[in-house]
Amino acid sequence: MRRGRPDSLGDMTEQAFFKHLNETNPLRHKLLVVPDCYHNADCMFRSQVARSTVFVQGA
């Protein structure tokens, strides 16, 4: 089931915010796309994509 905002406007807004974040902040951020989660935080943080990024093996 798809949740959140499935339109391309949402994608453009997120990309613009990510660009702004990297231009105004000295730290470098990583943009990850979690399939079928959109703005559902529970779905995002439980996904394999997030877990493998947040909990890096051997770090």
Cβ neighbours around 34 below 10 Å, total:
16
pLDDT in tens, 1-59: 444 454 554 567 778 888 888 889 888 777 788 888 878 889 988 999 888 888 887 65
Q: Which is nearest to 1 in space by CA: 45, 35, 47, 49?
A: 35
pTM over 0.75: no
Q: Residue 8 has what pLDDT?
A: 52
